[in-house]
Homo-oligomer: A and B are copies of this chain.
Amino acid sequence: MILRDPVHGLISFDSPVERIVVDLLDCREVQRLRRIKALGLASLAFPGAEHSRFAHAVGSAHVMKRYLERVRKLSTDLPAEDRIDRRAAMAALAAALLHDVGHGPLSHTFETVLPGAPPHETWTSRIILDPATDVHRVLTKVDPELPQEVERLVHGKHRIPHLARAVSGTFDVDRCDYLVRDSYMTGVRYGLLDIEWLLASLRLHRPQGTGASVLAVDGNKGLTAVEGFFLARLYMYRQVYLHKAVRGAEIVVRALFHRLVELGPQPGTPTAMATLLRGEPLDVPGYLRLDDRTLDAAIDAYTESSDPLLRELALRIRDRQLFKTMQLRADADPVAAQQRLDQVLRDEGIAPAYLGVIDRNEIRAYDEDHTLGVVGTSHGQYRSLLAASPVLRGLSRERFVHIRAVFPPQVRRAVGRGLAAFS
């Protein structure tokens, strides 16, 4: 199998081990990812960013393939227990492809808006472990124990620690793909990692007296590349993921779900969502019916709802009439600001209160990760990233806080006046 990818160029899976990717791609649960946008609401601010989780899943499997090739090259120096055998390689490729298989509509938004609904990680586990799914069948055909191994790997657990971290860690194939892909598709250039260089500078370091190797980069050329990775992440948050229009849309969607919880299922609500709204348990086949398109269809139906608030919020999303934002000082007190915003909305006669939100996000540019380090060139000694990198040291000491008031457009002036002290 060979296919064109705008980000990685040619992607092929043709060795016997890689065959598992081809088989998984044909599964209904993986095809469903075509119907879920990777960046959710961000295409409202970045018209190019319509790409799907499916393309990201394929890209992640491709980066994993490259990682496995790299480790194979290093493996003459590896202790036996850190070498990746055929079975572990298949598990790693499958886990990279399936790591997002449980995502619901609008990616991360969905799980935060339905109180009590299981997070996407739980759904990913269920889908992999449920004997009735296509992906389970494909994995089981290789080995009856493979679904369990893949499921654990998706959550960062494996007997080979560096492989577990490559699937789910500070610096993993998932992030490597999405930073570049989101950057390419939004046109925001800051996420353009040099994946070739990252792979070429990768090492596996075995600390003395311990059993397992950890990921490391070559201190000479790899340090810059790995710093670039964390900077890319910081910048994509700032420029894309926390873009004011994206947050303005997010708050509208949350308000819509808030209203829906108040009202209960409405005409046009898909069965599976109704189940979740009622707080009832949902089975895997039901969950898999939910995707961006079923949610869109529901929102489309709500544009004709008899409830004026639900109708207004649905129209706002469909026709991109988003909430406005006002940036506050990084050190503003979010609780006090929320109280002030509530007061402004009350004074202006806007209800319910959840239409005005203080939206605070803090990005950790780099948290010390003891499973990722730097191997020096002169003597091969291992140091932590923080010890080796003044750039990461500098970044780790600063806080990156984005705090905004988000509210309906008609109260723009009142909010501007009312929250002046926080800005």
Interface residues of A (CB under 8 A from B): 2-7, 9-10, 12, 26, 28, 31, 34-35, 37, 43-48, 50-52, 54-55, 58, 184-190, 192, 194, 196-197, 200, 220-221, 224, 228, 231, 234-235, 238-239, 289, 293-294, 296-297, 300, 318-321, 326-327, 377-379, 390-391, 393-400, 423
Contacts and interface: CB of A to CB of B under 8 A. Distances in A.
A296 B35 contact: yes
A190 to B, nearest CB: 7
A196 B7 contact: no
A390 B398 contact: yes
Given A294-B300, A390-B399, A9 B50 contact: no
Nearest to A227: B235
Contacts of A55: 47-48, 50
A228 B377 CA distance: 28
Contact of A31 (B34, B46, B192, B319): B319
Nearest to A28: B319
A188 to B, nearest CB: 6
Given A34-B47, A293-B296, A391-B398, 16 more contacts: A6-B184, A10-B197, A12-B200, A26-B320, A31-B319, A47-B52, A189-B192, A189-B194, A190-B228, A221-B239, A224-B239, A296-B297, A326-B378, A327-B378, A378-B423, A390-B395
A406 B102 CA distance: 34
A187 B390 contact: no
B390 A400 contact: yes
Contact of A58 (B47, B192, B196): B47
A137 to B, nearest CB: 14
A196 to B, nearest CB: 5
Contacts of A200: 2, 10, 12
Contacts of A391: 234, 394-395, 398
Nearest to A200: B10
**What are the nearest 10 A-B pairs in CB distance?**
A394-B394, A390-B398, A4-B187, A6-B187, A47-B55, A297-B297, A6-B48, A293-B296, A50-B50, A394-B398
A289 to B, nearest CB: 8
12 contacts: A2-B200, A9-B187, A26-B320, A28-B318, A34-B43, A190-B224, A190-B228, A228-B235, A327-B377, A390-B398, A394-B395, A394-B398
Contacts of A393: 394, 398
Nearest to A295: B293
A203 to B, nearest CB: 14
Contacts of A239: 221, 224
A367 to B, nearest CB: 14
A265 B190 CA distance: 49
Nearest to A50: B50
Most buried by B among A58, A318, A396: A318
Contacts of A293: 293, 296-297, 300
Contacts of A379: 423
A152 to B, nearest CB: 27
Contacts of A58: 47
A98 B10 CA distance: 30
A239 B223 CA distance: 10
A365 B187 CA distance: 27
Most buried by B among A7, A55, A187, A319: A187
A176 B188 CA distance: 18
Nearest to A38: B50
A253 B19 CA distance: 29
Contacts of A5: 47-48, 187
A51 B52 contact: no
A361 to B, nearest CB: 14
